Amino acid sequence: MAKRDDELVLLPLGGAGEIGMNFNAYGFGPPGRRQWIVVDCGVLFGRETTSPGVDVIMPDIRYLAERRQDVLAIVLTHAHEDHIGAVGHLWPVLRCPLYATPFTARLIEGKLEEAGLSDRVRVKRVKLGGHIDIGPFAIDFVSITHSIPEPNALAIRTPLGTVVHTGDWKIDPDPLLGETTDQNALMKLGDEGVLATVCDSTNALTQGHSGSEARVRQALSALIGSLNGRIAVTAFASNVARLDSVAKAAREHGREIALVGRAMHKMVEAARETGYLSDFPKTIDEHEAAQLPPRRVLYLMTGSQGEPRAALPRIAAGEHPSVSLGKGDAVIFSSRIIPGNELAIFELHNKLAGLGVEVLTEQDHFVHVSGHPCRDELAEMYRWTRPRIAVPVHGELRHMSEHARLAKALQVPEAVVIENGHMLRLAPGTAMIVDEVPSGRVHLDGKVLIDEGANLARGRRALGFAGFIAITLVLDGKGRVATDPAIIMEGMPEPVHAAVRDAVAETLKRHKKGDEEALKENVRRAARRAASDAWGKKPVTRVEAVWV
C-alpha cells in the first residue's frame, strides 16, 4: 500500500538525449526519503570531433552517490556496452547488488574482473522470465527480442502502479536464438493496467518494421553460396544469432569457419558457457584457415565500424599477422553504420577495394536487420501495454520527440520528453517534472575519469585546431629580462614561428622592469597577434617566467 506522501519518480541520468549511456533510476517513497533502483549502467563512445582522446563517456551520478545507502540495486536488462559498459567504473560509487540474467551476468563479471572488483561483488542471477523483489519494487523480467542473447523488459510493480521499462527490443517472430518478445506477458500487463511505458526510441524515425533475423540468415546463405574466393563476414560480435547464421551458412557451402578478433572469441565463449551455440560448428584457427583453398574458408571477424585496432581494418591495411585478403575475395558487412563512423567505414571499403576485394553491404544486399523497434513495432507495444504515460528514452532529442508525437497519435494520454537530470513524477497525479538534479557526462580520458564540464577534451580540440605556444621568460631579481626566452611551438607552419619569435623579442625589448604579470600578458598577446597576422589562426598560448 502506498502511503499518503509516497511518490514514484523516474530519474534518467543517461540515455535521455543520446543513444547510449543508458542509466535510469526509479525512486519510490516520500520526497527526501526515496528508495532507488537503477536500470542499466552503460557507456557512450567518445568522438574525435567532440571529445578527442576520450574512449568512453558515462553518466555523472553524483546525485545517487550522495544517497548511496538508498540505492538498493542495479538491474541490467542486457549485455550491450551502452547498458553495462559503465559497471566497472560506477559500481564502486554505488556498491549495491547487481541483478542480471545469466548471459548478461557472465559478461558483467568479465568487466568486474578487468576492474579488479571480482572479489568485492558478484552478479545475482535472475532466470529468464524471473522475478525479484527489491524494497518497494517487485520486478518481473519479461523476455523480449533484440540483437544479443537474453534481452529483457522489466515490469516494475510499485504500490503506485506498474512501469514497463522495455529495454532494447524489437518484434521478430523468428529470432533464431532466444525468445520471441513475450506479447502475452505484455498484453497481460496492459490488462492489469500500466502506469507508464518507458521505451526505446532508436528507430522512432524509421517507418515500418525492423525485419526478421531468419530472412537475413536465408539471404546470407544465398550470398555466401554465390561467392568463390575467401569470404570475410564482419558483424557485431554480440549478435550471437548472426554469428550462428553465418557459421551455418558457411557449413552449408562447405566452408570452414575461423574467428578473428578478440571480441569475437570472447563472445562465442560467453555464449557457449551459458548454454547458447550448442550446435555451433567447430572452428579452425587463422593459421589453419590460411592453408585451405579460398573457397573452403569463411572468416568471421570484428571491425565492422572501421575501428583501427580491430581485425578487418588491420587486414585491410595489410597489418594483420595471419590473415590477408585480395583479388577474388569478398567482405560482407553484416552490420549497420553507427552514425559518426561513416568516414572510417568508407575508408575501410576504399582500402579493401584497393586490394581488389569485393565489398558487400546492407546497401545492396539483405545482410542486416536492426535490433530496435521501428514505428509499427512501437505502435504494437503501445497497443499491448496501453499505458497512461509514454516516456521515450534511449534516443537523441529528435528520436524522443518523434516517439512522443507517435505515442500521442496512438492515443496514449500523456507523452513526456525528458532530459537527463529531470526527475519525472509518474504518480500520483499527472506526470510532471518535480526536480532537476545535477547530471552530465564523465569522460574516461586515458584511465582518468574527468567531468565533461572541466572542458579538458574541448581544450585539446583547440590545440588540434590551432596548435600551442609555450613561452618561458627569464627574469632577474629586478624583473628585468635576463636572457632570451624559450619559445616552444607546436602545430603551426614554419613562417609563423619566425613571426612569433620576432613579436616576442620586440615586446621584451620595450620592457624595462617590474610588473611581471603585465609583461606576461603583453607577451602572450603579441605572440597570438603575430600568429594571427601570419596565419589567420590564434594558437593556445601560455607564458611563464623563471627568475635567476
Among residue numbers 195 through 254, which ones bind a second copy (CB under 8 A)? 205-207
Rounded-to-integer distance, Cα 346 and Cα 348, Å: 5
Q: Does 295 bind a second copy (CB under 8 A)?
A: no
Name which of 317 and 546 has its Cβ closer to a second copy. 546
Asked if residue 396 binds a second copy (CB under 8 A), the reply is yes
Q: Which is nearer to a second copy, 131 or 309 (CB)?
A: 309
Please give the backbone phi and psi of residue 481, each rounded to the nearest 5 degrees, phi first: -70, 120
Indicate whether 472 belongs to the interface with a second copy (CB under 8 A): yes
Give the separation between CA 64 and CA 102, rounded to whole angstroms. Answer: 27
| Touching a second copy, residues 81-110 (CB under 8 A) | none
Beta bridge partners of 143: 152
Whole-angstrom Cα distance, residue 517 to residue 181?
A: 68
By CB under 8 A, is residue 488 in contact with a second copy?
yes
Of the pair 156, 442, the CB lying nearest a second copy is at 442
Quick one: which of 130, 275, 459, 514 contacts a second copy (CB under 8 A)? 459
Q: How far is the CB of 481 from a second copy (least distance, A)?
A: 11
Give the residue with the Cβ less far from a second copy, 184 or 226: 226
Half-sphere exposure of residue 476, counting CA atoms within 13 Å on the CB side? 9
State which residue, 340 or 413, has the beta carbon closest to a second copy: 340
- List strand residue ranges (DSSP E) for 40-101, in order: 44-45, 54-59, 71-75, 98-100
Grid cell locating 542? 601560455
Output the smallest distance, CB 51 to a second copy, in A.
10
Contact between 433 and a second copy by CB under 8 A: the answer reads no
The residue range among 72-80, 110-118, 298-306, 489-497 that interacts with a second copy, by the rule CB under 8 A, is 489-497
525 near a second copy, judged by CB under 8 A: no
Q: How many beta carbons lie within 10 A of that of residue 206, not counting itself?
A: 18
Identify which of residues 5 and 342 has a Cβ nearer to a second copy in the complex. Answer: 342
Q: How far apart are CA 506 and CA 488, in angstroms?
A: 17
Task: Compute the least distance from the CB of residue 533 to a second copy, in Å.
Answer: 10
What is the rounded distance in angstroms from the CA atom of residue 240 to the CA atom of residue 243? 5
Find out whether 315 and 324 touch, Cβ atoms under 8 Å: yes
Under rule CB under 8 A, residue 318 binds a second copy: no
What residues numbered 115-144 form the site for a second copy, per CB under 8 A?
none
Q: Which of 76, 216, 323, 496 binds a second copy (CB under 8 A)?
A: 496
Tell whether residue 546 is a contact of a second copy (CB under 8 A): yes
Beta bridge partners of 331: 232, 359
User: What are the angstrom distances between the C-alpha of 78 and each of 101, 105, 184, 506?
Assistant: 8, 9, 21, 64
Candidates 398, 408, 480, 512: give the one binding a second copy (CB under 8 A).
Answer: 398
Q: Which of 192, 236, 197 is nearest to 216 (CA)?
A: 236
Residues 14-33 that bind a second copy (CB under 8 A): 17
User: Does residue 326 interact with a second copy by CB under 8 A?
Assistant: no
C-alpha to C-alpha distance for 413 and 299, rounded to whole angstroms: 51
Within residues 351-380, the interface with a second copy by CB under 8 A covers 351-354, 359, 363-364
Q: Is 409 in the site for a second copy (CB under 8 A)?
A: no
Smallest distance, a second copy to C-beta of residue 537, A: 4
Question: Near a second copy by CB under 8 A, which window of 32-40, 127-135, 235-243, 445-453?
Answer: 445-453
Q: Check binding of 463 to a second copy (CB under 8 A).
A: yes
Residues 36-75 close enough to bind a second copy by CB under 8 A: 47-50, 52-53
User: Other C-beta atoms within 10 Å of 295: how many?
Assistant: 15
The type of residue at 257 is I
> In terms of C-beta distances under 8 Å and separation of at least 24 residues, what long-range contacts does 273-276 make, across chains too?
273/106, 274/102, 274/103, 274/106, 274/149, 275/102, 276/103, 276/149, 276/177, 276/178, 276/240
Q: Binding residue for a second copy (CB under 8 A) from 308, 483, 512, 513?
A: 483
Q: Residue 519 CB, nearest distance to a second copy (Å)?
A: 14
